[in-house]
A and B are shown apart, each in its own frame.
Chain A
Amino acid sequence: MSGGPRWDRRRVLRTGAAAFGGAGAGWSGSALVANGSATAAPADGRTPVVGPSAGAETVPVVGTHQPGVDTAPQAHLALVGWSLRAGTDGTGLIRMMRLLSDDAARLATGTAALADTEPELAAHPARLTVTFGFGPRVLRELVPAARRPGLTDLPPFGRDRLDPRWGQTDVVAQICCDDPTTLAHARRMLVKDARTFAEVRWIQAGFRTARGTVPDGTTMRNLMGQVDGTVNPAPAEPDFAPLVWAEGDGGDGGFAGGTFLVVRRIRMQLEKWDRVDRVGREVVVGRRLDTGAPLTGEREFDEPDFAATDRFGFPVIDPASHIARARSADPGERFLRRAYNYTEPDPARSSGEDSGLVFLAFAADPARQFVPVQRRLDQLDRLNDWVVTIGSAVYAVPPAAPPGGYVGQQLLEGIESVTTGESSPS
């Protein structure tokens, strides 16, 4: 009995303490650290490239549409809103769009822009696309009525808390790219070349899951953790074209192949959302958090059964839930969503951040397709307790640049300028 039992006792207890302490630390950490499926890195530290490098991928302009609409959403967004300077008239806008269209076309193919100060940063296009749009004032003042697309401001919504800082601008560029460095360079080149004609009102940065993190085509998750965008027309579906591409409204057909863009900056009140448990979160939306399946289904793309009831006769999917309110019996009340998450540091808030969704929707006719849905959500949607729209704008997105021309030419100079090749000199 040379103190053995005591030693053993201590050892046992300390081992136990260490085990439980470790378990506690592990448990705490597991909430923060994702359990990465570690692929063993090669000894030399280089990442082996399997298949084509994502950086080399490009999005070609096909047909009459600008890229960046039916393009599978890239990982990163820079949405740039410009106001035209007081001295910028129609000719000025033509010169600006000529410059920016040329930049966009070059950068999208991995070619440096003209007078590019950092040409190396253009070398990896990573599916870069730039999509331009004109705000209502540009259409009103610089596009003759005969070829003006029918774009009106959105009606006021009672729950919006619009901050003029994120308001309507004259011109927009939706710059999307799978690589943030390439994106930053493209944004800088465009802003630089537009500077003479317009000043930047806002830049809305956004992101989705990085390319390669989840299989291509996976529905995005927003920062509330919800699978967001399950019900979205796909380019391969017959409904897609009539829902997204405008026909030649506005007289001479110069807008055919164009579309309209609705921008809504939706702030999420995540600190408040933190207090909602999983059951509550799923009721609010009407979908499961893990799979994104409707509460009446098992898989993400199962059709929600709004008629299903529980034993008391209450609908399984709350009629006030987000998916129940967003749903319309009218198949025309659908549009293409192409949203991005945003998060900005904000030391003024206790959370230290301002996070939400840069909601981008493309529609052939927003007044017919988007407004009725938004009206319903504005009237009633359980999700409204945790989200608030702080920015709103609409744009006409012209068709692709004609061969040798620039984006917007059909609107600014008429379709004759395209067919005859007689564009006004820049």
Chain B
Amino acid sequence: MRKHARSAALVAAVGTALVAVLAAGWSLPAAAHASLVGSDPDAGQRFERLPGQAQLEFSEPISAPAYVVVTAPDGSRADQGEARIDGGVVTVDLGGAAPEGTYGLAFRVVSEDGHPVTGRIAFVVGDGPLDDTLPSAPAASTTPDAGTDRTPAARDEVDDGGPSLGQVQVGVAVALFAVAGGLLLWSRRRPR
């Protein structure tokens, strides 16, 4: 009877796990979308004076247009002109009054597979502290302000929005079949 109970418990556990996976739904780990792989300025980087331009490098080509907003400590805009795109590299010119303090660079780009990526980087001009008061969670890609606030940090996680519907469906089906197959195999094993 102990074995019986163990088996039943196992089935229940696996079932519970699967239900959890199903419930998690869209928040399953993402497959490849564009992500930010590097930036200049880097998050938290310190400068004597405002650099002439900012560059963001993504893992995939970006489709036009890309949006970059750089906010100076006094709230003024430090980005000048439209962001330029060269493959996966997005460049924007910086300028303006360039006061000392913390700058926020926010970006919103769409990769060539149609996926929006939003994020934010903070950097400092001068000797002052890094004072990134904006909530650092990326804005949800489509719904206004749907993201949950997290502890402020210099570098945002890039919002990749999760896997595609097809990926989720295929993944869940494969998982269900795999568990079924595993249970069937195990049922044929002689108990010790």
Q: Which residues of A contact B (CB under 8 A)?
A: 5-6, 8-10, 12-14, 16-21, 23-24, 27-28, 31, 274-284, 288, 295-296, 308-314, 316, 318-320, 380, 382, 385-386
Contacts and interface: CB of A to CB of B under 8 A. Distances in A.
Contacts of B47: none
Nearest to B12: A16
B43 interface: no
A277 B139 contact: no
- Interface of chain B, helix or strand or loop or mixed? mixed
A277 B165 contact: yes
Nearest to B143: A295
A12 B11 contact: yes
B91 interface: no
B143 to A, nearest CB: 7
Contact of B11 (A5, A16, A275): A16
Interface stretch (B50-58, B95-103, B125-133, B170-178): B170-178
Contacts of A311: 134-135, 139, 145, 147
A280 B116 contact: yes
Given A20-B177, A20-B180, A380-B65, A314 B139 contact: yes
List of 6 A-B pairs having minimum Cβ-Cβ separation, nearest first: A24-B176, A280-B114, A13-B187, A276-B114, A277-B164, A310-B139
B48 to A, nearest CB: 27
Nearest to B156: A312
A31 B139 CA distance: 30
Contact of A277 (B115, B172, B184): B115
Interface residues of B, number: 59
A386 B145 CA distance: 28
Contact of B110 (A16, A308, A382): A382
A359 B158 CA distance: 38
Nearest to B164: A277
Contacts of A28: 169, 173
Given A278-B165, A283-B142, A312-B120, A14 B113 contact: no
Given A9-B3, A283-B142, A277 B162 contact: yes
14 contacts: A9-B187, A12-B7, A14-B184, A17-B187, A27-B172, A276-B115, A277-B163, A278-B164, A283-B110, A310-B139, A311-B147, A312-B108, A380-B64, A380-B65
Contacts of A14: 183-184, 187
Contacts of B81: none
Contact of B141 (A6, A23, A279): A279
A311 B56 CA distance: 20
A288 B174 CA distance: 29
Question: Quick one: which of A12, A279, A308, A318 has the most chain B CB within 10 A?
Answer: A279
Question: Quick one: which of B4, B118, B140 has the most chain A CB within 10 A?
Answer: B4
Contact of B181 (A17, A277, A318): A17
Contacts of B157: none
B112 to A, nearest CB: 7
A310 B142 CA distance: 9
Contacts of A319: 65
A24 B15 CA distance: 13
Contacts of B163: 277
Given A14-B183, A277-B164, A314 B118 contact: yes
